[in-house]
Structure 1
Amino acid sequence: MASRRVFHLHLVSDATGETLNAVARAACAQYEDAHPIEHVYALVRGPKQLERVLGEIEDAPGIVMFTMVNEELRQRLEARCAELMTPCISVLDPVMGALGTYLGRESSHKPGSQHTMNAEYFSRIEALNYTMAHDDGQSAGDLDLADIILVGVSRTSKTPTCIYLANRGIKAANVPVVPNVALPPDLETATHPLIVGLTTSPDRLIQIRKNRLLSLHEDTDTSYVNHDAVGDEVAFARRLCARNGWPVIDVTRRSIEETAAAVLNLYNERQKEVG
């Protein structure tokens, strides 16, 4: 088996760096035997900032990936990397080139354009506020204002999935399912939101819950992690979803991003049906 390779990865951006970081991590994830040491430089928009970055690249040579629209700074970065014989990659150039050719237009060359405070931005903030106010069963009788409601037993990743969705402008609430505990009255009467059940295998759920209890220095000898009790919880939640016709997603082997993508697929399909 090949030894794990450690290398320096310099991520240089003239904006927040979110796009660059996501692309870099997605690419690195395809190489299980590689471990990048990330050096992240955001809001690099002037010569002084760039010189500091170049100094750090020289001190720790590796791969450089960047998103920069200022042509002078780009050329300086690429030229210095060439002198150091360090790979230097503009991750957006192929996409922007293809898009520009198709549209027959030049790009705006404006750094951080995707973060402009427009209507979409404020929609995301509104969605995030709604989601945080409707976490873990909190309800002011307005669950019908949600776009999506996630239901499921404790520790099925409802909260992080909702936050992920909110960052995409989706008002997402979540409601815990506990046997013998009444659900919010406005849940089963809600007609506007898509309601989705999240489930997982009892064994996986017990493992997650035990880790949670240990992190809180609490006793793990409780029905919260009892195999029979957890199995009953999961079965109860499945019956609840089946009775109400709510689709169910098994999150046992899914990341938060994969769960959110599956929820969004269901949501988009529903929007087409009602639209």
Structure 2
Amino acid sequence: MVKPIIYLVSDSLGETAEKVIKSALLQFGDHHEYELVREPYVDGREKINHVLMTVARERAIVGYTLVDPELREYIYERSVELDIEAIDILGPMLDAMERMFKKKPRVKPGLNHQLDEAYFKRIEAIEFAVKYDDGRDPRGIEKADIVLVGISRTSKTPLSQYLALKSFKVANVPIVPEVDPPKELFSVDPSKCIGLKINSQKLNDIRKERLKALGLKPNANYATTTRIEQELEYFETLVERLGCPVIDVSYKAVEETANIILQLQMLN
């Protein structure tokens, strides 16, 4: 027995039409009992005619997702003339939304695919932030859109993750007086680097709480005023050498600092 054929006509990739048709086919058994033929990027009457003539010859049916109302009308009229069973998958929803929103649709094919690209770009940025967190690999400095520079407990990691959700690739570099900063830090555009400074008393409180959370004594050298002042002095020397913008994160939420960084990026 010859398999029934269903043509999927789209002005983009045809993924939407395929998903809908396959969902419907499940109500009639395994979709492998049918043959699906995808016809992507159909953007004119000539292509529509070519497909419909084939559909008529093979006594198939056609499902279509076309955003252009003229093309939708044309494929409907030609299907009637050729006695073809044709299903407008997208049109009725677009028409209903046009009436509800009282505005015309953009009539731009492939927007769903563009959203997918945005999603994957965001995922890539998140993976980048994890890979190049806390100076694990200095090679990330040159690849990054933004490089965060700061001493311990200045919110470098949460900022990296927050900015990654905005699709920015972020590397962060911890600054420690006893460790030379990576040479890559001095070869990138200074406008890509953002120094994160903090009030010494605020940092002292944060570090003491961190030590408590780890079950350590709050008077460890890590949280002493002397040590913090030493780190902050070294940080100031470094960012002056880099010539990069500096943001005081002492009393700012991560979102607030991130918005300042995004504004700086827009100016570059």
Band the TM-score falls in, shorter-chain normalisation: 0.5 to 0.7
Match in the other structure for 1:222: 220
Provide Cα deviations, 1:107-163, integer angstroms capped at 9, x if missing partner: 99xxxx999851111100111111100000111524211000000000000100010
Distance in structure 1 (CA, Å) of the matches to 2:180 and 2:190: 21
For 2:216, the aligned partner's letter is: E
Match in the other structure for 2:104: 105
Alpha-carbon spacing, 1:217–1:130, altered in 2? closer, same or farther (3 Å): same
Distance in structure 2 (CA, Å) of the matches to 1:189 and 1:142: 12
Quick one: which of 130, 142, 145 aligns to 2:143? Answer: 145
Distance in structure 2 (CA, Å) of the matches to 1:140 and 1:176: 11
Match in the other structure for 1:93: none
Deviates more, 1:183-192 or 1:259-268: 183-192
Distance in structure 2 (CA, Å) of the matches to 1:210 and 1:122: 39
Match in the other structure for 2:175: 177
Matched, 1:205 2:203: yes
Match in the other structure for 1:234: 232
In the alignment, structure 1 segments of 5+ residues that lack a partner are 1-95, 271-275
Provide Cα deviations, 1:157-203, integer angstroms capped at 9, x if missing partner: 01000100001100001000111211122121123870000011000
Provide Cα deviations, 1:43-71, integer angstroms capped at 9, x if missing partner: xxxxxxxxxxxxxxxxxxxxxxxxxxxxx
Distance in structure 2 (CA, Å) of the matches to 1:180 and 1:216: 23
Distance in structure 2 (CA, Å) of the matches to 1:213 and 1:114: 48
Alpha-carbon spacing, 1:252–1:184, altered in 2? closer, same or farther (3 Å): same
Over the aligned positions, Cα root-mean-square deviation in angstroms equals: 2.6
Match in the other structure for 2:36: none
Distance in structure 2 (CA, Å) of the matches to 1:132 and 1:240: 24
Structure (1 or 2) with the greater helix fraction: 2
Match in the other structure for 1:15: none
| Rg comparison, structure with higher value | 2
Structure 2 SS opposite 1:150:
strand
Matched, 1:123 2:121: yes
Structure 2 SS opposite 1:139:
coil
Question: What count of residue pairs does the alignment treat as equivalent?
Answer: 167
Distance in structure 1 (CA, Å) of the matches to 2:203 and 2:106: 48
Structure 2 SS opposite 1:144:
helix
In the alignment, structure 2 segments of 5+ residues that lack a partner are 1-96
Give 1:105 deviation, angstroms.
2.8
Match in the other structure for 2:166: 168
Alpha-carbon spacing, 1:114–1:240, altered in 2? closer, same or farther (3 Å): farther
Match in the other structure for 1:70: none
TM-score, normalisation: structure 2: 0.57
Distance in structure 2 (CA, Å) of the matches to 1:164 and 1:146: 15
Structure 2 SS opposite 1:235:
helix
Distance in structure 2 (CA, Å) of the matches to 1:152 and 1:172: 14
For 2:122, the aligned partner's letter is: R
Distance in structure 2 (CA, Å) of the matches to 1:139 and 1:247: 23
TM-score, normalisation: structure 1: 0.56
